[in-house]
């Protein structure tokens, strides 16, 4: 290690659920002195003292009142848990599913028209008012009181069963995530999935028969000589992703 002598003071190793192995080793220089990290001591990319899966990701020197130590972090891939379909280049993926609600304007509810009616024939106490964002045009004269396009929902009348209702909760925030560790630098497209296209994730939930998925992209973090990778898909509403706008 750069001509210096070190002894191992302590160490630990952990494995994440996505197959990232992290090892921490504390070295003590002998004699105790300040160490030039990067020139002396463990060098980035060097092998772990005994775990051949790991290489040095980073090191930190701590020197206080004549006592010094080097804290080294090693990273690698869990080779005992490799995905056989990936030719030994990545760990078996782990999956997570996040399904929740988002708040949407009440006028976007599928049953809004049946409940509130139209500007020229409102029902259940719905109040429509002329909208500043829908100004009159030549083919939509403002004088036409029956031109529904000039009006927008404003509120419900006092005493209506729907008084005060302006938004509703919609189950529209479902995402499916795949995570794994690989020793190959990720590329922009994964096998069978392209950014912004309708796609079915591997092992994705199958209980949404009227929905489909769109590939939202990926992220990765370089950890020494391996990469911690995440892929994400987003679930459509009950009508599916519109194939006019999204390629399958």
**Rounded distance between C-alpha atoms, residue 71 and residue 48, angstroms:** 13
In the chain (248 residues long), the average pLDDT of successive 10-residue segments reads 81 96 93 74 90 95 82 96 91 93 90 92 91 50 58 91 94 88 82 77 77 89 95 87 88
Peptide bond into 167 cis (omega under 30): no
Supply the pLDDT for residue 187: 78
Supply the pLDDT for residue 146: 57
Supply the pLDDT for residue 2: 60
CB 27 within 8 A of CB 7: yes
Supply the pLDDT for residue 29: 85
Instruction: Give the position of tokens 């080294």.
Output: 72
Supply the pLDDT for residue 6: 87
Measured in degrees and rounded to the nearest 5, phi and psi for residue 218 equal -145, 165
* Integer-rounded Cα radius of gyration of the chain: 30
- Which DSSP string do the residues of 67-101 spell out, in sequence order? EEEEEEEEEEE-TTSB-GGGTTSBBPPEEEEE---
This prediction's pTM:
0.74
CB atoms under 10 Å from CB of 207, counted, come to 5
**Rounded distance between C-alpha atoms, residue 132 and residue 125, angstroms:** 22
Burial bucket for residue 200 (CB in 10 Å: 0-12, 13-18, 19+): middle
């Amino acid at each position: 290690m750069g001509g210096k002598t070190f002894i191992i003071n302590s160490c630990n190793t952990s494995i994440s659920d996505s197959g990232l192995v992290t090892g921490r080793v504390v070295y003590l220089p002998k004699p105790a002195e300040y160490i030039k990290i990067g020139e002396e001591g463990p060098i980035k990319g060097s092998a772990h003292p005994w775990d051949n899966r790991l290489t040095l990701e980073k090191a930190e020197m701590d020197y206080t009142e004549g006592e010094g130590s080097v804290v080294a972090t090693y990273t690698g891939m869990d080779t005992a848990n490799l995905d056989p379909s990936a030719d030994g280049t990545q760990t078996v993926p782990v999956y997570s599913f996040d399904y929740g609600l988002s708040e949407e304007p009440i006028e976007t509810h599928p049953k809004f028209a049946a409940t509130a009616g139209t500007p020229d024939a409102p029902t259940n106490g719905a109040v429509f008012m002329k909208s500043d964002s829908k100004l009159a045009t030549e083919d939509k004269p403002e004088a036409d009181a029956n031109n529904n396009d000039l009006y927008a929902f404003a509120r419900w009348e006092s005493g209506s069963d729907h008084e005060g209702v302006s938004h509703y909760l919609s189950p529209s925030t479902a995402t499916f995530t795949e995570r794994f560790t690989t020793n190959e630098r990720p590329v922009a497209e994964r096998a069978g999935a392209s950014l912004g296209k309708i796609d079915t994730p591997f092992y994705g939930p199958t209980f949404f028969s009227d929905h489909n998925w769109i590939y939202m992209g990926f992220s990765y973090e370089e950890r020494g000589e391996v990469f911690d990778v995440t892929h994400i898909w987003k679930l459509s509403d009950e009508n599916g992703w519109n194939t006019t706008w999204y390629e399958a």
